[in-house]
Amino acid sequence: MEIGNKYTTFFFEEYEKMAEKNTFSAFLPSENKGLWCMSKVDNFKKNLAKMAVEKIVEEYLKNDSISVENINKFLNEAVKKLWTNTPENRDRIKNISILTIMIENNRLIAGNIGKNKLKIFRKNKLFEELNGNKIKEIALKQDDYILVGTEMFWDLINEYEICEMLEKFKDRNVVEETLSLKIKKEEKDKKEEKKYEMPKIPKIL
């Protein structure tokens, strides 16, 4: 994501085709501000991740002022929406992960619940990271590179590889294409490993 008069957002096409279930994201841009949201909620019957993101977008459209209080409210309202819509299946909801980012000019406020992660790279190095249940405010600079992903995404790629790509390729489009190819390859390799994994033989007493 490049910071200037506008924000450039890239969605990894290959990653979207993976078998990761119950994940949903949204991006609401405007000239000098925007909302980015990603959710992953494990549930067998409903796409609760979509429900959580839609609730955050609904709250943002009511009040789009950038503040810690607003981010906190968005997250709380999203979780409340999940609980009220699945009272019979609360014990089946696992790993609620919701990451919400608001940016206006050079000011970023991010709020996170769960295992999604946000990483900011500055001058080809990891500058800031957000994970766990936290809210953080960060002053952005021109050409900061922001990467958001689920736990599964960060299992496939690490910050050292991203730093190397940012150093090697000055064109961000090339960085993103390279990341996409790597993610696609890692996922293919994982599928191959599972395919040829030997079944466990039960012990005979």
Write down the mean pLDDT value for the chain.
82
Closest CA to 24 of 42, 50, 54: 50
User: Does the model's pTM come out above 0.95?
Assistant: no
Tokens encoding 61:
């459209």
- Does 108 have pLDDT greater than 70? yes
Higher pLDDT, 189 or 184: 184
Instruction: Kindly state the helix (H) or strand (E) to which residue 74 belongs, with its residue range.
Output: helix 68-85
Torsion of CA 61, 111, 171, 28, to 10 degrees: -10
The neighbouring-strand residues paired with 202 are: none
Q: pLDDT (tens digit, 9 = 90+) per residue, 22-66?
A: 888 889 888 788 999 999 987 766 788 999 999 999 999 999 999
Lowest-confidence pick of 18-32, 97-111, 126-140:
18-32
Q: Quickly state the pLDDT bin for 203 (edges 50, 70, 90).
A: very low
Give how far Cα 70 sits from Cα of 57, 64, 76, 163, Å. Answer: 12, 8, 10, 32
